[in-house]
Chain A
Amino acid sequence: MAGWWARHVPINQETVRHFTSEPVPYHLRRWWWCLGGTPAYLFVVMATTGILMTFYYVPRPPEAYYSVQRITEEVPYGWYIRSVHRWAANLMIITVILHMMRVYFTGAYRCPREINWMIGVGLLVTTLLFGFTGYSLIYEQLSYWGVTVASNLMEATPLIGPWLARLIRGGAEVGETTWVRLFVFHIGVLPTIMTILLICHFTLIRLHGVTPYRFPDEPEGKTYPFFPDHVLTELAIGVFLMFLLTCLACIFPAELGPIANPLVTPEHIKPEWYFYFTFRLLKLMGLTWAVLTLGFMLFITLLWPFIDAAIRKYWPESELSVYIGIAAVVLLCVMTVWEAMEGTVF
């Protein structure tokens, strides 16, 4: 039997062993150095539960809403699959942000890992777009008005705005075809982009190795093998995550708001929490400034490793990057909490 396989799939055993037992530096025993593995695991959870829901979902309003209702109320374990998908999405966004903070505050984005930071920013944007398109698919009131606001926001982008807006709407206005497009983005385009970016991300991590670091109580240069040690650790984290997701799904199952009504914007409207920041920003300034500010922030984040390098060239000992990082985190938190606390004024 082994001989049969060896003949039909002629892989060199040595190569396999070499590839899978890549030594992992000892500081990765600390969980916060492995935070990147969590969104990766969650992505697999999302793909699995997502493919399951695709068996029932109908990407055309208003059936879209009724198909989600059917998944939630009739299909065996539908509520569970949907709730896990929803919670995994939220956790994914949280863990991506935590991972990004770990990378930032340990300076792991610095030379030679700038490109991987930029790929990471691509992953962050893709994750957020997953959240937006996914939320829209439900076709509840907030989905409809979220899509309306977001597509108009896209339209305000300089130069490519009108094209982008028409691309997402499939016409001049938000309508039936828009939901087919949101669906295609959510289950086709974004997963493809995500997969490609993840392959690049992981390849670069393998090529560079994780940023070296040594905690005081650790032996110099000690490592442990990727397989089986690190894989086992990640699998154990995975089991814990499934447990956590199941608890969350049971205690706070995904709900279904009122069906979209293209005629009436509801009095109380708020996006998902991870867009509170943007939402607050839109209330604080006129549209042009809001678009410019968002674009500028994305641009700075994307090119941060190079900006940081320039700063450190002039002030080699400066701790500026840490302060800027803290300021950014505080700003994000303040805007998010501010939006969360505000009961609609009118």
Chain B
Amino acid sequence: MSDEPIKEPTTGDEQPSRRGFVTTVLMLASLVASYGLGLVYFLRFLVPPIRWRRRELFVTTVDRVPSDRALVWVGPDGQEALIYNLNGEIVAFSNVCPHLGCHVHYRPSEQRFVCPCHQGVFDLEGNPIAGPPAEENTPLKRYNIVVRGNAVYLEILEEA
């Protein structure tokens, strides 16, 4: 008895069967590649491209920006900004909660912004002080303000 492995009897079939294996692999690979490519196109099709556009919108005049409460400004496409004079600087916060996108409510009596969805609370400088936004330390988004002469403009980014 030797430990030599028993050789399969070679027949004329060997070559074709190896070729058969290669053909199968190639066949499968090209099937996966072609149907896979189709799937990629389908998935790409489902997600539309987004083009952004920057705009400056006139909001109000400098002398009309209050310092004791927030001016709620509503833009043409429903964007909302809370504008006020914070120690001499005109600031504008987006009312979109950085947690999951609900609109915060301005509480003049408490000088706070409160989000009704998961009870996020922000101070007048937009800093999160309670709720999930405070856990993650996500402040209210600030808009860029451009002052030209007496006119106050808000810079917004929108879907074109």
Contacts and interface: CB of A to CB of B under 8 A. Distances in A.
A152 B100 contact: yes
A149 B98 CA distance: 11
A67 B94 CA distance: 33
7 contacts: A145-B102, A152-B100, A172-B159, A173-B159, A262-B78, A283-B131, A346-B116
A246 B103 CA distance: 38
A285 B131 CA distance: 8
Interface stretch (A77-85, A163-171, A329-337): A163-171
B101 A148 contact: yes
Contacts of B104: 265
Contacts of A345: 119
Contacts of B74: 263
Contacts of B159: 171-173
A268 interface: yes
A163 B47 contact: yes
How many of chain B's residues touch chain A, expressed as a range?
A: 20 to 34
Interface of A: 145, 148-149, 151-153, 163, 166-167, 170-174, 177, 262-269, 279, 282-283, 285-290, 344-346
Nearest to A175: B159
A6 B100 CA distance: 62
B114 A346 contact: yes
A287 B132 contact: yes
Contacts of A279: 118
B76 interface: no
B41 to A, nearest CB: 15
Contact of A282 (B50, B105, B116, B132): B132
B149 interface: no
A263 B135 CA distance: 26
A177 B49 CA distance: 13
B99 interface: yes
Given A167-B47, A285-B135, A286-B136, A148 B116 contact: no
A265 B102 CA distance: 6
Contacts of A269: 102, 116-117
B102 A170 contact: no
Contact of A283 (B78, B119, B138): B119
Q: Interface on chain B toward A: helix, strand, loop, or mixed SS?
A: loop
A266 B116 contact: yes
Contacts, number: 78
A287 B120 CA distance: 12
A269 B120 CA distance: 13
Contacts of A267: 105, 116
Contacts of B47: 163, 166-167
A265 B103 contact: yes
B50 A172 contact: yes
Interface string B25-59: 00000000000000000000011101010000000
Contacts of A152: 99-101
Contacts of B46: 167
A282 B118 contact: yes
Given A279-B118, A283-B132, A286-B132, 14 more contacts: A151-B101, A152-B101, A166-B47, A166-B48, A172-B159, A263-B78, A265-B103, A265-B116, A269-B116, A283-B131, A285-B135, A288-B136, A345-B119, A346-B114
B123 interface: no
Contact of B105 (A265, A288, A290): A265
A346 B99 CA distance: 18
Given A166-B47, A269-B116, A283-B119, A153 B132 contact: no
Interface in B68-125: 74, 78, 80, 99-105, 114-119
Contacts of A264: 103
